[in-house]
């Protein structure tokens, strides 16, 4: 009896490796199992897989679909021996696990068991559960969008901006999937909240990563690359020789980098944030109030969301602090990071303006806000 291949839609006559797929997809799956070369997707995992053999198919998305429909690596028999086959299976599993946690987040852990068993708060109803799950999913998409290189690079301004333009879509999808109730707001209010959030995200996440990796003087990007040399960051992207020497550029901008560490990185170091505290603080930043152009409806909406997140953060603080530590003090220390994040943004904006004044960068604060103008919310405006 003929069936449809669950991967590409072609005709399938019998199961292969645990799922109903055509012979072409079965052969592809076998080749990928024994391949030593990783497959990466250039479209953030959104490629369509069809039965048209003339069209070049995305190997990463095709393999992911094979695994998703139930094809079993263990069912692929090696031409050599079973021992070699077990090695290959182990390698596939290890790579799959690593793909959920890119190198820069190697220390991200799971929700603590004590919190899940808490009698004071129902874990399954906590926003933290979906927040953490969707964040882990975003890390997986990041690794596919930004394939890991063998060596870490020091980036200049234009390269960093290109990365952020790509990452902003992933961050927007993370926010939308975690807080679907945002769709209740007018599209302009959604954009307002997201653009305010993303600027805070671009200073808070690198500060947290700097602490995780023990490199407080380094700005870490989603790709795993870094910004750690003032002169390179402000001059390497210029098409013509800069009007200032590297020493002069360093003398102008180094105080801002030092100020950024003092105002944000050092407080994050002192707070010793867990990943769950970090994610909840990011969410609280999303639902900010007092923004220019924010409607009364949006303010009430944000206040309600913040109350929920404050309660969850308070519960997390109870379970992550030491017995000798007062959880109320830890909660207060978390709250003090919110104004530190805003001060970090102030430093960032001043640095952008100064870079424009010296004609070392062309990106103004307005340009930056335009880039993060809520890319996923444009569809809402079209519908309305």
Mean pLDDT by 10 residues, the chain (384 residues): 80 81 88 77 72 76 83 69 51 43 44 43 70 83 72 78 85 91 92 90 90 83 82 73 78 91 92 88 94 95 95 86 79 94 90 83 61 50 40
User: According to the model, what pLDDT value does residue 2 have?
Assistant: 65
- Which residues of the chain form CATH 1.10.565.10? 103-383
Residue 324: CB atoms within 10 A of its CB come to 5
Q: Give strand ranges (E) for 192-306.
A: 219-220, 226-227
CB-based contact 22:5 (threshold 8 Å): yes
Three-state secondary structure of 145-157: HCCCCCCCCECCH
Closest CA to 277 of 332, 328, 316, 309: 316
Question: CA 168 to CA 172: how far, in whole Å?
Answer: 6
Q: Which helix (H) or strand (E) holds 25?
A: helix 23-34
CB-based contact 204:285 (threshold 8 Å): yes
- Which residues of the chain form CATH 3.30.50.10? 3-98
Q: Can you read off the two tokens belonging to residue 89?
A: 């299976």
Contacts of residues 49-58 at CB distance under 8 Å and 24 or more positions apart, as own/partner, are 49/7, 49/8, 50/8, 50/9, 51/5, 51/8, 51/9, 51/10, 51/22, 53/24, 57/8
CATH number, domain 3-98: 3.30.50.10
- Give backbone dihedrals phi and psi of 16, rounded to 5 degrees, phi first: -135, 125
Sequential DSSP letters for 295-321: -HHHHHHHHHHHHHHHHHHHHHHHHHS
Beta bridge partners of 154: 226
- The pTM of this model reads 0.67
Q: Which CATH class is domain 103-383?
A: mainly alpha
User: According to the model, what pLDDT value does residue 367 have?
Assistant: 59
Question: CA 364 to CA 372: how far, in whole Å?
Answer: 13
Question: Do you know the residue count of the chain?
Answer: 384
CB-based contact 4:11 (threshold 8 Å): yes
- Give backbone dihedrals phi and psi of 219, rounded to 5 degrees, phi first: -95, 115
User: According to the model, what pLDDT value does residue 356 have?
Assistant: 81
Question: CA 193 to CA 288: how far, in whole Å?
Answer: 7
């Amino acid at each position: 009896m003929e069936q449809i291949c669950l991967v590409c839609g072609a005709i399938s006559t019998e199961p292969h490796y645990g799922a109903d797929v055509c012979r072409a997809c079965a052969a592809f799956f076998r080749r990928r199992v024994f391949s030593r070369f990783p497959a990466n997707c250039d479209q953030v995992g959104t490629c369509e897989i069809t039965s048209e053999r003339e069209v070049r198919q995305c190997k990463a998305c095709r393999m992911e679909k094979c695994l998703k429909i139930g094809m079993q690596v263990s069912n692929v028999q090696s031409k050599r021996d079973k021992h070699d086959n077990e090695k290959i299976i182990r390698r596939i599993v290890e790579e799959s696990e690593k793909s959920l946690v890119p190198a820069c987040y190697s220390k991200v852990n799971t929700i603590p068991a004590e919190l899940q068993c808490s009698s004071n708060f129902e874990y399954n109803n906590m926003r933290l559960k979906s927040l953490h799950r969707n964040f882990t999913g975003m890390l997986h998409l990041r690794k596919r969008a930004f394939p890991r290189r063998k060596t870490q690079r020091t980036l200049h301004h234009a390269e960093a901006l290109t990365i952020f333009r790509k990452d902003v879509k992933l961050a927007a999808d993370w926010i939308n999937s975690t807080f679907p109730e945002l769709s209740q707001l007018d599209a302009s209010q959604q954009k307002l909240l997201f653009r305010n959030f993303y600027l805070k995200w671009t200073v808070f996440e690198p500060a947290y990563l700097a602490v995780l990796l023990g490199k407080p003087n380094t700005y870490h990007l989603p790709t795993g690359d870094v910004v750690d040399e003032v002169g390179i960051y402000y001059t390497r992207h210029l098409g013509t020789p800069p009007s200032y020497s590297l020493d002069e550029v360093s003398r102008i901008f180094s105080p801002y980098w030092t100020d950024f560490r003092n105002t944000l990185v050092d407080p994050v170091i002192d707070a010793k944030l867990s990943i769950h505290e970090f994610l909840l603080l990011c969410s609280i930043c999303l639902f900010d109030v007092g923004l220019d152009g924010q409607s009364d409806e949006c303010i009430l909406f944000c206040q309600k969301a913040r109350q929920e997140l404050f309660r969850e953060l308070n519960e997390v603080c109870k379970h992550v602090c030491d017995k000798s530590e007062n959880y109320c003090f830890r909660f207060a220390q978390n709250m003090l990071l919110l104004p530190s994040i805003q001060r970090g943004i102030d430093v960032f904006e001043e640095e952008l303006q100064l870079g424009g004044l010296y004609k070392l960068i062309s990106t103004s604060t307005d340009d930056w806000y335009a880039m993060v103008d809520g890319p996923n919310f444009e569809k809402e405006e079209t519908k309305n």
